Amino acid sequence: MQYFSTNKKAPSVSFKEAVINGLAPDNGLYFPEKITPIDSKYIKQINSFGNEELAWTAIHQFVGEDIPLDVLKKIVIETVNFPFPLVEIKKNVYSLELFHGPTWAFKDVGARFMARCLGYFSEGNQQKNTVLVATSGDTGGAVADGFLGVEGVDVVILYPSGKVSDIQERQLTTLGRNITAIEVNGTFDDCQTMVKKAFLDAELKDSLRLTSANSINVARWLPQMFYYFFAYKQLKEKSSPFVFSVPSGNFGNICAGVLAQKIGLPVSHFVAATNVNDTVPRYLKTDTYAPNPTVATISNAMDVSNPSNFVRLIELIEGADMKNTLDAFSFTDKETLQVMADVKKQLRYLLDPHGAVAYLGLKKYLSKHSNYIGILLETAHPCKFSDTVEQAIGEPLLLSQAAQELLKHDKKSILMSNNFEDLKAFLLKR
Ligand SMILES: *Cc1c(COP(=O)(O)O)cnc(C)c1O
């Protein structure tokens, strides 16, 4: 499979090169040249297939010849080896729980898949690949866990000191082995700027094989299709129209949903639910794409005002009216906290702040489409955002055994200023 750059000013590349490059040299995102629908008979028999089989069917055309089939099968099996339950929280409303992976957020699937692909592509290389990534919380933990112990790959993660939750910090800093956590005295933007400078630095380029594990990487983006297949498989009633509500920041997850629809999953509609960083909801109203400065919210993994995957959405829609495929709604922190409290009280279901935004989006859509079945994507375990959840429900949250265990591990991080030269010196010395 070949991938073109959405900016159309860089050559097309194979899956392997797209994974290694991350971003195309013209700063575009890679997008598959051809999308082939799955046989509709296969979709009709979806209940007879296991998750590994479904995942493999969804992804193998996008990998093509670059990974032998038996290796790809093994990668897929290792990527989806935990549950993805679809929980009915009230009549015709379901929560697809994507937080049962090792770091309790949906980014585990993309990170695990990418880590194993890159591990395969690094086999036999003289020099190790260094994966460099900046995180505001969830990405770092998923990438750290996904790449832990992968031969031929070292991982360096930058995170802003004091600005990630306790659980998130432990997930980054307690693994050791090939994972190094750098605690930057600065903001997430500082971390991201340092990483971007590293990729542009000629000296680093000459002496290290640097790779990004950013969410725009095709190997992180594509496996997110799996969620939508797993949800559909678990739906008891498959004849009614159904809608997915996706809590959206960079819009990678929802784009993967639209791709799943393109290859044949009979999804009726999507809702992109955002916090007050509402560039896409405003775009659908006004036809103007005009990002505002980013605003900090309680659903902080979605604090994105210029979603990088928006260009992929444009490619997927191919000139049609975007409104035929999705609606987009934005919600305030106040509404989010309120609905977390209401859902806990009325339905005895605990939402994290991101899932709560998705719930709000679903509720709004279903109020006008009462014949639809609604599925919200619950993208993180509530304990990852325990402060906010406790504030919303007005009572302490009981941490799971695994979370209590994690908090016992000692943090190991390297303190660093927000000066790029310090990062450069550190990387060259390794
Ligand atoms: C990253 C993240 C999102 C946003 O996903 P996108 O693919 O960037 O739209 C939503 N919820 C959680 C918990 C996340 O970590």
Distance 191 CA to ligand 1 centre (A): 19
Measured over all CA atoms, what is the biggest interatomic distance in the chain, rounded to whole angstroms?
62
Distance 330 CA to ligand 1 centre (A): 15
Burial zone of 69 (CB within 10 Å; 0-12 exposed, 13-18 middle, 19+ buried): exposed
Q: Which atom of ligand 1 is nearest to the CA of 249?
A: 9
Ligand 1 center from residue 247 Cα (angstroms): 7
Assess whether 233 carries a catalytic annotation.
Answer: no
Q: How far apart are CA 370 and CA 190, in angstroms?
A: 46
Indicate the top mutation candidate among 354, 357, 360 to test ligand 1's pocket, ranked by most ligand atoms within 8 A of CB. 354
Please tell me whether residue 108 adopts helix, strand or coil conformation: helix
Atom 2 of ligand 1, residue of closest alpha carbon: 301
Atom of ligand 1 nearest to the CA of 250: 8
Q: Please choose from 215, 330, 352, 379 the residue to mutate so as to test ligand 1's pocket, defined by most ligand atoms within 8 A of CB.
A: 379
For residue 141, give the amino acid letter.
G
Centroid of ligand 1 to alpha carbon of 125 (angstroms): 33
pTM (predicted TM-score):
0.94
Tokens (6 digits) for 189: 């933007």
Atom of ligand 1 nearest to the CA of 253: 7
**What's residue 164's pLDDT?**
87
Q: Name, in order, each residue with C-beta under 8 angstroms of 337's C-beta and a sequence gap of 6 or more.
A: 298, 356, 388, 391, 392
Query: How far is 243 from 327, CA to CA, in rounded Å?
Result: 10
Give me ligand 1 centre to Cα 141, in Å. 13
Question: Can you give the pLDDT of all 430 residues of the chain as single tens digits?
Answer: 999 999 999 999 999 999 998 889 898 999 999 999 999 999 999 999 999 999 999 999 999 999 999 999 999 999 999 999 999 999 999 999 999 999 999 999 999 999 999 999 988 888 888 999 998 878 899 999 999 999 889 999 999 999 888 889 999 999 999 999 999 999 888 898 899 899 889 999 888 988 888 888 999 999 999 999 999 999 999 999 999 999 999 999 999 999 999 999 999 999 999 999 999 999 999 999 999 988 889 998 899 889 999 999 999 999 899 999 999 999 999 999 999 999 999 999 999 999 999 999 999 999 999 999 999 999 999 999 999 999 999 999 988 888 899 999 999 999 999 999 999 999 999 8
Distance 372 CA to ligand 1 centre (A): 24
Joined together, the tokens standing for residue 274 give 């955002």
Give the type of residue at 116. R
Point out the ligand 1 atom lying closest to the alpha carbon of residue 352.
13
Other C-beta atoms lying within 10 Å of the C-beta of residue 42: 15
pLDDT score for 95: 98
Of ligand 1's listed atoms, the one at least distance from the Cα of 138 is 15
Side-chain-side CA neighbours of residue 289 (13 Å): 8
Residues with C-beta less than 6 Å from any ligand 1 atom: 105, 107, 138, 215, 247-253, 301-302, 354, 379-380
pLDDT at 217: 94
Beta carbons within 10 angstroms of residue 245's beta carbon: 32
Catalytic hit among 9, 73, 90, 107: 107
Distance of CA 308 to the CA centre of its chain: 12
